[in-house]
Chain A
C-alpha cells in the first residue's frame, strides 16, 4: 500500500533521513519506533507532503506521491494525525470534524463518517458544540484522530498518539487504534512508547539517527537485544 524506497531527507543543511526503505501492507498496523530526534516525525511529514525529500521514491496505492502537494495526498486516501494533534483550538469540535471531511471525496459522505467517528469516540458527540481548546489532553487526541478519520482514509498515519497522555488513557488509545484497524483501516504508527506499540503492531521498524537499524514482527522486536537494552531497560 505504502512503499518507501531509498528516501533521503535533509532538514535545512543536515541530513535527517538516510536511505530509508520501508513498506506498509493493506490491513496492517506497522510501527516506526525510535528515540527522540531519530527523524520519525520528519519522515511522516515527507510522506504527507509537508516537507520534500531530496531523493528516493514514495509510492502510495500505485501512485508516486513524493512530489505531490499535501492536499492531493489526503485526497488519495492517506491521512496523518500530526504530533500533538494540532487541533483547531479556536473552533468547535464539530467544526474540527467537518474540516476533516474537507476533501471532495469525503464531503459527500460527511454525515455517515460523522456517525462513524462518534461511534468510535462517543465523547466527541457529547462535546460537539464545545470549543476544541477547552478539551482535555485525551479528548484532544481523540479529536485529532476523529478529524483524520473524517477524510475516510485508507491509510492512517499517527504521530505519537500516546504523547502526553496518562497511562490509563494510553492503554485506551491503543485499544482504539486496534479497533479502527479491525474495521479495515491500515495504520502506520510512530511512537516512543515502545512496549505498547510493539505489542500492538504486526510489524515494526526501528529508526535510529535517521537510519533503519532493525525490522521485524512487533513481538519479535520486543525481544531484540538492542531494543531491550535501549528502550525497555
Chain B
C-alpha cells in the first residue's frame, strides 16, 4: 500500500514536471506579451511530430533531436508572431487577451486540420531500446523516459532563467514585461522582444512535445488537452511567474496522481479542474504570484 502510494507520488511528480514544461512556454509568452495563446497545445503537437519524423525518417534519437525541434518551433513561433499575433500588439491589455484568445483558437483548429491532412489521424509514438529500462529506489520504479522529463524540464528551466537573468536580451525581456514604455525609453526594441519571447515560448512547447511523444502518444487532436493543463498550471503558479509555473506543474501532477490513488483515475482530470477553480476563487493571483506582478 505504502509502496504503491510512493510509486504514485513519484509518477505524479514526473508527469507534473511535464505539465510545468508545457506551461512554461505559455507563461513566458503571456507574461511578456499578454497573448493568451490557446494554440499552445498545437505547438506541443508540432514539437511531437518534429521529433517523431526526425526519429522515423532520419533515425535521430528523440533527445538528440531536441535542438532541431527547438529550431523548427522557434521559427514557426516567429512566423506566427509576425503574421498574426503582432497585429494585436497595440491593443490595450484586456482586449489583447480576448482577441488573441479568439485568434489562437482559430489557429488551433487550422493546425489540427493541417496535422490531420499531412500527418494522418494515426496515433504515433517513439520507442527506442532504452525506453523500457528503469531503476528501482526504495521499492519505487523510475522508468527512464519519465525520469528524462524531470531532467529535461530542469535543464530548460535553468537555461531560461540564465537567459533572463544574465544576458542583455533576457534583461530586455524582463524590463519589457515590467513596463514596456520604460523599456522602449531605454532603447529596447520591444517588438523584437515580443517576437523573441513568442518564439522562445513556442520552442519550449516543442521540447515538451518531444517528451509527450516519448512518454505518451501524439495525434492531431492532442493539443486542446495540453492547452487546458498548461492554463491550469499557469494559473496555479501565478501568471508569468517562471519558477512558480514549474512548481504549479508539480502540484497538478501530484493532485492528479493522489486523486487516482485514493478515489479513482476517472476523477484525475476533475481534480485538476477543481484545484483550478479553488485557486481562482481564493487566490486569483496564483499560489506563487504576487499582486504586483
Contact = CB atoms under 8 A, between A and B. Distances in A.
Interface in A28-60: 48-50
Interface size, A (range): 20 to 34
Interface of B: 168, 171-172, 174-175, 178-179, 181-190, 292-293
A144 to B, nearest CB: 9
A89 B292 contact: yes
Nearest to B184: A70
Interface in A47-84: 48-50, 69-71, 74-75, 79-80, 82
A71 B190 CA distance: 9
Q: Which 9 A-B pairs have the closest CB atoms?
A: A74-B187, A103-B187, A86-B182, A70-B184, A71-B187, A102-B186, A71-B189, A102-B187, A88-B178
Given A88-B175, A90-B293, A102 B188 contact: yes
A50 B184 contact: yes
Given A82-B181, A99-B175, 16 more contacts: A50-B184, A50-B185, A69-B184, A69-B189, A70-B185, A71-B187, A71-B188, A71-B189, A74-B185, A88-B182, A89-B292, A98-B168, A99-B172, A100-B186, A102-B168, A133-B292
Contact of A95 (B171, B185, B190): B171
B252 to A, nearest CB: 26
Contacts of B184: 49-50, 69-71
A232 interface: no
A79 to B, nearest CB: 7
A20 B188 CA distance: 28
A91 interface: yes
Interface of A: 48-50, 69-71, 74-75, 79-80, 82, 86-91, 95, 98-100, 102-103, 106-107, 133, 147-148, 151
A46 B190 CA distance: 17
B185 A79 contact: yes
